[in-house]
Structure 1
Amino acid sequence: MINSLAKRRLEKGEVVIGTFVKFASANLVEMIGLAGFDFIIIDTEHANFTHGEVEDLIRAAQLVGMSAIVRTSDAGEATILHALDSGASGVQVPSLSSAAEAATVIRRAKYHPLGERGWAPGCRAGDYAYTPAKTYIEQANRDTLIAVHVENARMAGDIDALCALDQLDVAFIGTGDLSQSLGHPGEPDHPDVAKVVDEVVAACARAGKHYGVVASSPEGLKAWVGRGARYIAWQSDMVMYKNALKAAMDKVAPFRVGRGEV
């Protein structure tokens, strides 16, 4: 019970567009999928979700044919298991500092012979054991997407080793945290940050490894795709909702009769 749409399209070199999800709303996830997004990234690092809420969001994404990646809160074995056993299409793991740590993530996310993921065939991802164990293992190892963040100077400095990891699908560049790591907090466009980003992009190109980014404007999206980015997180549900509310209020506010605006 794993939707591998995003991973399959990436493997073909196609651009996949997703968004971060910070609200525990299955209805909103369905709307995101119906709007045409390829995947969501359920943000358990910065938003508050229960395990049950994460599973419901994954289920909602699957209902509309959309992949559901979970950005984990950490790289812990249980954290990764909870996400994948719930049927997530993959995990996106932040706050790593080396390729060796990323290799550990892969071992925890893949079954033998690719890793040593904890065995639970009766989980939702395994169709509650209705799917034969061997078939499920093969599907999970083939279809699970693994992304890790490149968001500090140490990980950026180990980028060649990171790109050499065969089972890693995406190196996700986090310019916000990277700017802080490089001594320029809140300045993702600082020349020092741009230089490191260029190095990461070049390393991914040399290794034939996909990299991901956040895009917040059509111009930014066009630029990243032109540079070879294929895994794009377009804003978040919160940002899009906020922007839509603001745009609506800008239209209706002049008609607030009795407040002196009309």
Structure 2
Amino acid sequence: MSIRLNGVIRAWEEGRPAFAAFSQLDRRAAIEFSAGPYDSIIYEMEHNPWDIVGLRDSMQYLLSRKQILDAGSLAPTVTPICRIPPNGNEMDQAYAKQALDCGVYGVVWPHITTVEEARNAVSACRYPRPETAPNYEPAGIRGDAPTFASRYWGLGQQEYYKKADVWPLNPEGEILVFLMIESVKGMNNLDEILANVPGIGCVLIGEGDLSQNLGFPRQYDHPVVHEAMAKIVATCKKHGVPVGHPHVTTKNVERVLAEGFQFLMSAPVRTFKAIDMAREIIGMKVETAAAGAAY
């Protein structure tokens, strides 16, 4: 039986949403995420500097030999994905190629607005193949350099080639193509995009940029923003494509689940309970001392 390596796809195949968060490139962050409750992390390099060496380093620290041994599986506990810098209209495949060659299991493409841009995104994540091959389109244009990626996945190169294709176009594929829809143009073209470009694994709504474009910047609870996001969700449901929400919190999580989002991004929250308790105790002592001095 084939092992599902991509934890996001595995979650969907199990009939549940996948949980994820953005992460900076950092060894300690990678170690912390490796023990967290996430199916995936997205290394954020759209707004952070492009650092391919840092990406490789962080991905190595995301792995744990003990986790692999205990699970008895090559599948990473937390699946690494990368958001690349170029906007969709830049048609820049080089960033996707370099990230995939490091071994990421998916690429997030910002600001996709047209069929042409979406087709380029999928093509950049596929190797070339004969025109007679099944599911030939969108034709692959990824350059061939599998050494690092196959080693990271724990596979021989020929086995890696079989799995290094886009899901769900190839049901055995382990690579996810995320399209970020974050403009009115992208929203209005989404139905055409999903109808004409196979191989799109997930649509991630960029509600920050979308709310800017709608005239209500970062007013996520504004009815106009809600209406636009609902339209995107409905279009994705029509085509059977999972849709992701980038800002899931304790305040909106019930609504997000009820609306049918299948990729939930929630920022990790650090707690300081011991410090808070200490400050409370110190504050009580200071207040008591002050009250005593008043007499």
Q: What TM-score range do you get, normalising by the shorter chain?
A: 0.7 to 0.9
Residues 166, 13 of structure 1: alpha-carbon distance in 2 compared, 3 angstrom cutoff: farther
Partner AA of 1:203 in structure 2: T
Select the residue among 186, 206, 217 that pairs with 1:155. 186
C-alpha separation between the residues in 1 aligned to 2:218 and 2:274?
A: 29
Tell me the residue number matched to 1:66: 78
Q: TM-score, normalised by structure 1?
A: 0.86
Residue aligning to 1:118: 143
Distance in 2, matches of 1:261 and 1:38, equals 46
The structure whose RCO (Cα within 8 Å, separation 6+) is larger is 1
Q: Is the 8 A contact 1:70 1:83 kept in 2?
A: yes
CA distance in 2, matches of 1:103, 1:35: 34
Q: Deviations over 1:64-86 (max 9, x none)?
A: 52101111111521111111100
Question: Bigger CA drift: 153-162 or 186-195?
Answer: 186-195
Structure 2 residue 169 is matched with structure 1 residue 135 = no
Give the RMSD, CA atoms, in angstroms. Answer: 2.5
Aligned amino acid, residue 18 of structure 2: V
Does structure 1 retain, via aligned residues, the 8 Å contact 2:207–2:218? no
CA contact (8 A) 1:178 1:188 kept: no
The AA in structure 2 aligned to 1:198 is A
Q: Does the CA-based 8 Å contact 1:3-1:68 persist in structure 2?
A: no
> How far, CA to CA, are the matches of 1:252 and 1:74 in structure 2?
46
Q: Which runs of 4+ in 1 moved over 6 A?
A: none
Structure 1: tracts of 5 or more residues without a match: none
Alignment of 1:251 onto 2:263: no
Kindly, what percent of the aligned residue pairs are identical?
24
CA distance in 2, matches of 1:83, 1:223: 33
- CA shift for structure 1 position 103: 1.1
Q: Tell me, in whole angstroms, the C-alpha distance in 2 between the residues paired with 1:146 and 1:248.
A: 42
Contact map agreement 2:248 2:256 (CA 8 A) in 1: no
Aligned 1:208-223 pairs, distance under 5 A: 208-223=240-255
1:181 aligns with 2:181: no
Deviation of 1:248 after TM superposition, in Å, equals 5.3
Q: Decide whether the 8 Å contact of 1:13 with 1:230 is kept in 2.
A: no
Q: Relative to 1, partners in 2 of residues 1:249 and 1:46: Cα closer, same or farther, differing over 3 Å?
A: farther
* Structure 1 residues 144-175: Cα deviation after superposition (integer angstroms, max 9, x where no partner): 11101111111101111232332101000111
Q: 1:232 aligns with which of 264, 267, 283?
A: 264
Aligned counterpart, 2:95: 79
Partner letter of residue 238 of structure 2? R
Work out the CA distance in 2 between the residues paired with 1:178 and 1:109.
25
> Which of residues 113, 116, 120 is equivalent to 1:104?
120
Instruction: Find the residue that maps to 2:252 and give its secondary structure.
Output: helix
SS in 1 for 2:112: coil
Letter in 2 for 1:98: T
Q: Number of residues paired by the alignment?
A: 252
Larger Rg: 2
Query: Which residue in 1 is equivalent to 2:226?
Result: 194
Task: Give the conservation status (yes or no) of the 8 Å contact 2:181–2:206.
Answer: yes
Determine the structure 1 residue equivalent to 2:104. Answer: 88
**Contact 1:10 1:231 (8 Å CA) reproduced:** no
The equivalent of 2:32 in structure 1 is 31
Matched AA of 2:118: A
Question: Which 5+ residue runs of structure 2 have no aligned equivalent?
Answer: 68-76, 130-138, 166-172, 289-295
Paired with 1:28 and 1:261, the residues of 2 have a C-alpha distance of 39
